[in-house]
Structure 1
Amino acid sequence: MPYKGMRNLLFSPKRSPSSSNFLSPSRTELPNSTPRRLFSDAIMDRTLEVAGSIIMKWNPDTSTFANVTSLFYENRGEANDFIKNVNDLQRAMHFLASENSGSEKLVRAQNLMQIAMKRLQKEFYQILSMNRAYLDPELVSARSSVASTRSSTSDYEDEDGDIGPEDDIKIAGDSISEVEDVSNMAMVDLRSIAECMISSGYGKECVKIYKIIRKSIVDEGIYRLGVEKLSSSHLRKMDWEVLEQRIKNWLNAVRIAIKTLFNGERILCDHVFASSELIRGSVYTEIIKEGASILFEFPENVARNSKKSPERVFRTLDMYTTIANHWPEIESIFSFESTSDIRSQALTSLVKLSESVRTSLIEFESAIQKNSSKSLVAGAGIHALTTDAMHYLSLLGDYSNILADILADLPLPVKSSLPESYFDVSDSEDFPLPAISLRFAWLILVLLCKLDGKAKHYKDDSLSYLFLANNLNYIVSKVRKSNMKYLLGDDWLTKHETKVKQFALNYERIAWSRVVGSLPEDPTAVKSPEDVKECFKRFNSLFDQAYKKQFVCIVPDCKLRDEIKVSLARKLVGVYREFYGVHRLVIGRERDLALEVKYTPEDVGNYLSDLFFGKTLSGSSSSFSMSTSQLRPR
């Protein structure tokens, strides 16, 4: 825009009752008479004389003192007079231009105005550059908070004027009052200069100085926060450990940048250029646009160009959470129309991050389904796939609020991809479950289907059921101990706990039914010595076989382990004790008794109590692509 056009845009004359009575409408409506002209000439002469005196005094081109000294630093009262006289001169020029555009007085006034503007440019630059520390964005952004805190303490004053528990706040506030005073004075001076220059048609020069100095501060702040522009190719080649550290730096930087750097600059810019919203928006945008773009482009670049894998989703969620949590501040700080691109960039990053999270969850599901390991877990214990997957899901549960937004409109895969018997997610049109609940239930369902397939690799059906009981019990336990319990609900937990008990009962039935069946239904019924001997012999043999076979089994969960033992003891030890107590003397002599009766009821109970501790978990293997250490955010 041409210089003249910019001046017209920024020109906004101010009127002050104390200094412009001679320009009031009632005065200008007087007839163009000779007395009025003489009166006006006198006023013009006086205005030019007074304004010229103070302006020339501070002309840096004609006075060494004026060249090396700051007007606002040397004498604030005289600085205020300077501003007042410049404003008077501007109004006088406006009046002269309407009366006689070729007037010599107008030419003189224009020369004085140029000198005054040069002086104010110098002052504006000096205040900005010499007070960088006092106009630091963090200090500026904290001023209103401290002021609000101090103001609130007045509510606690008692009748004698004493302050109670808020004394510490006041003392802390007093300790920085000197710094605040300097900051406040600098902001007041900058605003008075800016308004004077803008109303005089020199807004362009004022804005140029402001943008140069304040943009350097913002750019330096972004650099110090460790944020830099990275190309797509650079990101794609970056090792995950390096990229993860960059993400950590960004997470810390974005909080500081929004709350202090951008917020402080917005407060300062709003104050200095309070007279024009158009100028405020334009200036603020020029100052922060580059730094804000670098900051808010980073998440989008990571989402677009970094390698996708399930374990990296947590850093993606951290970035999404940070932007989402600060969105009200982003909308407020970047509310100008000229900063709409910044808001759009932040929103674009949110969209790309959400897409990346969705992709990671799809890949996680795929990793479960593609797990093709046929190696058996020793002792029918917990599979590595189960521990890794549930650890991953429990960590995801900590992000349930964010995931609820991300997964709100993500459709589930078609149910035909799983057996009908596994459709255990209750949902109806009357009581629809949230998308996030359905997604977690679905992922666990996929895991259960895969575990069901792995259980079939055991040649012994009892081990298959014990494997399913152990793994499902672990899944239920992880759900109950994490945020997933709120997502899946009590009905889900109750239903799957019931399944655990069913699997455990099936294990007992298959593994121990022959031992239990070796004892008569009525253990007290009269039997011949030969029948008693045969019964004891059969029990000894079957119990030996079952015990040796089940001794290697493991039930890691102590509660489930005890439940299975109690159930077995109830079915086996009680019946055997009755049979033993009634029939052991039927056999006859003590020597024959020792040969035929291998176990006492106490022996049976003790042997059962030693079960399900297993020897080792070695032998379990999984081709699942994630380990616990990989899934845990660092």
Structure 2
Amino acid sequence: MEKNHHLPEKSFSFRKGIDDDEETNSAADASEDIDRFLSNLSSVPKQDKEGGDDHNEEQDKEHVPVVTGVEIPGCLEKYLDFVEEEFSKHETPESKVKGYQPTEDDATYLKSVERISKLYSNLSGAFKLDSDQGPLINRIGRIQQRVMSYIEDEFRNLLEDSKVVIEPDHQKQDHQGSSDHCELPQSGDQSNPNPENDFPGYPQEVLTLLTKIAKEMISGGFESECCEVYMITRRNVIEESLKQIGFEKISIDDVHKMHWESLEREIPSWIKAFKQCARVYFPGERKLVDAIFSGFPSLSDSLFSNLTRGVVIQLLNFAEAVAISKRSQEKLFKFLDIYETLRDDLPAIDSLFPEECANELRAETTTARCRIGETAICIFCDLENSIKSDTSKTPVPGGAVHPLTRYTMNYLKLTCEYKDTVEQVFKDHSKIERADSTSRPRNYEGGGDSQNYNNNDENQSPFAAQLMRVMALLDANLEAKSKLYKDISLSCIFMMNNGRYMLQKIKGSAEIHQVMGDTWCRKRSSDLRNYHKNYQRETWTKLLGCLNHEGLMVNGKVVKPVLKERFKSFNAMFDEIHRTQGAWVVSDEQLQSELRVSISAVVIPAYRSFMGRFSQYLDPGRQTEKYIKFQSEDIETYIDELFDGNPTSMARRR
């Protein structure tokens, strides 16, 4: 016998004048009646369907508690008519256009969604679908599917359409040549003075509506649909934003196939993307998901993690692919840029994720950073091999600065601009040197070749020790190259040129000077002075031998043939020096001036004195012209033409 469920009369009090058979006059009246019905329904005790002990095992599998004493109010059918009519208006093509903004009707139709969900939930739990109320419950279920589909579309449209457009000037500055686009607010954007206080592109009224829609969908049993829409839409926003700042998805295989010139152009975009994610995009996404799903913290965590984790892994994959690409010296500085980005921006990302996900991403980021760091060390230590392998037997013309010196010193100078980072990389990522390798840092705690320069620094860092080793290798290489010159004077000029270049580079950079130290600079200055003395001795001391008084006087008289030979030898030797050393190159103006001044200080007074004492012993006229080819002023002029790399014959000039 079918049970007849009735609510106790005292528990239900419809509006005065309305009974089960009387129709309501308006949607508002019907809404009030349904609210009252649902309120009373929630307070009615429940019992099991088909109560008692007569249910079988199959029925036990469908054990569902039901509400007792339920009588469907007559206004329900009319209310459902009102709801369907109202949502038909909302489902017109005009209502589907993008750019929809919240209106006063939003609260009304969301309240209707809530009523429909509650009606279906309560009545489907109170009655079997094959009961007399089955058709009614099925109708409510169909309406719920319809209205949920509608608000799902609204949820999607609102998420898609409310993005912040960057001002053209700011946009041009950030990414040259890109077209107008929508993007999350940039950190430090002057058009948005407090971007950290804003959600990523959603006005407060839209945000409020998104929150209400999410709540209704989740409460109505449409959580998966709501989450799917949110994930897809926001992922597209992030991907579009990254694309607009120049970062495209690049697979690991694609990275390995790229020429360095192409890959090098991608790295700045990667760095910008990583920083934007850490400082702008991810904080904005965290705020947004926490706001929209404010009543569902675990769901909020899950959505944020699933949404952003893939982006982080994509960025880290790029870094790791770069790390295992073919090593070359020019890559070092881009590697250091990547390393600094991973190091500096990880904490910002860390704090946004739930602990378990944060730990996973921290491990992934640490792995990528270690690979970049270890590869950077190998690249820098490969500088040793490049110096050792430079065994060219062709001397640089004119004793100029060797290309190896220029390359090495500029490389070291640029490296030392990353001094703090390189120090950290060597400290954190140096490995034990392989026995067969010269590409690992030696003297990890200092010492070895570097002690020649800085033996008082017991706490020398691994990087400083490696840098000292590179300098020692360069010194040895240059010393070997100086022996390629047959002229000892030119060999000295070569060593002076290269030594001065090295010293000036170090003094001109506070970072590299700090690593090398004053001891190294003092020793280098001392070496330069010694090369200068050797040069003077090999060239000008020999010339001054022509002005020696010894042998010119016999019995108090000047021996004219000897005097003539002395002038003749001086003229020939000075002419040869001018012709030869005019072709030599001293590019450092200060060194060039120092050499000329020191030569003049030695040669001109000696020549003037010799001329003043012995020129009178030559017959005036033809004999004087033949043997005295230079006045003191001429000597000074010719000395000032040395080391210009432009040989000039004095004979042609005269």
- 2:229 is the counterpart of 1:209: yes
Q: Deviations over 1:330-354 (max 9, x none)?
A: 3344465335444433333222222
SS state of the match for residue 407, structure 1?
A: helix
Q: CA RMSD in A?
A: 4.7
> Superposed, which structure 2 residues align to 1:160-239 within 5 Å?
183-198=203-218, 202-222=222-242, 227-239=247-259
Q: Deviations over 1:117-176 (max 9, x none)?
A: 863563243133245131469765469988984799xxxxxxxxxxxxxxxxxxxx9xx9
Instruction: Indicate how the Cα distance of structure 1 residues 142 and 574 shifts in structure 2: closer, same or farther if over 3 A, else same.
Output: closer
Q: Deviations over 1:520-549 (max 9, x none)?
A: 489999963116555444534543444444
CA contact (8 A) 1:529 1:587 kept: no
The residue number in structure 2 matching 1:29 is none
C-alpha displacement of 1:298: 0.6
Partner amino acid, structure 2, of 1:270: D
C-alpha displacement of 1:116: 5.8
Partner amino acid, structure 2, of 1:326: D
Q: Percent identity?
A: 24
CA distance in structure 1 between the aligned counterparts of 2:188 and 2:219, rounded to whole angstroms: 28
Partner amino acid, structure 2, of 1:247: I
The residue number in structure 1 matching 2:558 is 529
Task: Give the greater-gyration-radius structure (CA).
Answer: 2
Instruction: Indicate how the Cα distance of structure 1 residues 499 and 540 shifts in structure 2: closer, same or farther if over 3 A, else same.
Output: same
Partner amino acid, structure 1, of 2:516: L
CA contact (8 A) 2:543 2:573 kept: yes
C-alpha displacement of 1:450: 0.9
Instruction: Indicate how the Cα distance of structure 1 residues 67 and 428 shifts in structure 2: closer, same or farther if over 3 A, else same.
Output: same
- 2:534 is the counterpart of 1:501: no
Can you give the 5+ residue segments of structure 1 that lack an aligned partner in the other structure? Answer: 1-35, 153-172, 617-634
Which region of structure 1 is more displaced relative to structure 2, 73-82 or 582-591? 73-82
Instruction: Indicate how the Cα distance of structure 1 residues 499 and 384 shifts in structure 2: closer, same or farther if over 3 A, else same.
Output: same
- Choose which of 445, 448, 455 in structure 1 pairs with 2:482: 455
Instruction: Indicate how the Cα distance of structure 1 residues 74 and 462 shifts in structure 2: closer, same or farther if over 3 A, else same.
Output: closer
By percentage of residues, which structure has more helix? Answer: 1
C-alpha displacement of 1:570: 1.2
CA distance in structure 2 between the aligned counterparts of 1:300 and 1:46, rounded to whole angstroms: 61
C-alpha displacement of 1:225: 5.3
SS state of the match for residue 452, structure 2?
A: coil
Which region of structure 1 is more displaced relative to structure 2, 545-554 or 59-68? 59-68
Partner amino acid, structure 1, of 2:498: N
- Choose which of 362, 373, 393 in structure 1 pairs with 2:392: 373
CA distance in structure 2 between the aligned counterparts of 1:268 and 1:420, rounded to whole angstroms: 58
CA distance in structure 2 between the aligned counterparts of 1:471 and 1:465, rounded to whole angstroms: 10
SS state of the match for residue 266, structure 2?
A: helix
C-alpha displacement of 1:426: 0.9
CA distance in structure 2 between the aligned counterparts of 1:144 and 1:243, rounded to whole angstroms: 28
Which region of structure 1 is more displaced relative to structure 2, 117-126 or 49-58? 49-58
CA contact (8 A) 2:217 2:223 kept: yes
The residue number in structure 2 matching 1:426 is 454
Larger RCO (CA within 8 A; separation ≥ 6):
1
CA distance in structure 1 between the aligned counterparts of 2:188 and 2:535, rounded to whole angstroms: 69
Instruction: Indicate how the Cα distance of structure 1 residues 547 and 213 shifts in structure 2: closer, same or farther if over 3 A, else same.
Output: closer
C-alpha displacement of 1:61: 8.8
CA contact (8 A) 1:141 1:263 kept: no
SS state of the match for residue 394, structure 2?
A: coil
The residue number in structure 2 matching 1:65 is 89
Instruction: Indicate how the Cα distance of structure 1 residues 544 and 397 shifts in structure 2: closer, same or farther if over 3 A, else same.
Output: same
CA contact (8 A) 1:524 1:579 kept: no
C-alpha displacement of 1:452: 0.9
> Superposed, which structure 2 residues align to 1:306-321 within 5 Å?
306-321=325-340
- Choose which of 286, 291, 294 in structure 2 pairs with 1:266: 286
The number of equivalent residue pairs is 549
Can you give the 5+ residue segments of structure 2 that lack an aligned partner in the other structure? Answer: 1-6, 15-31, 40-74, 166-181, 432-439, 648-654
- 2:350 is the counterpart of 1:331: yes
C-alpha displacement of 1:197: 4.5
- Choose which of 286, 289, 294 in structure 1 pairs with 2:306: 286
CA contact (8 A) 1:334 1:343 kept: no
Q: Deviations over 1:156-214 (max 9, x none)?
A: xxxxxxxxxxxxxxxxx9xx99x97x632221111123345545665444323322332
CA distance in structure 1 between the aligned counterparts of 2:485 and 2:637, rounded to whole angstroms: 28
- 2:488 is the counterpart of 1:469: no
Partner amino acid, structure 2, of 1:267: K
Q: Deviations over 1:312-371 (max 9, x none)?
A: 223323333333343343334446533544443333322222222112112222111111
Instruction: Indicate how the Cα distance of structure 1 residues 289 and 89 shifts in structure 2: closer, same or farther if over 3 A, else same.
Output: same
Q: Deviations over 1:464-502 (max 9, x none)?
A: 211111111112222333443344344433432332222
Q: Deviations over 1:259-316 (max 9, x none)?
A: 4444433332121122333211211222233333222211111211x22111222332
Q: TM-score, normalised by structure 1?
A: 0.72
The residue number in structure 1 matching 2:639 is 608
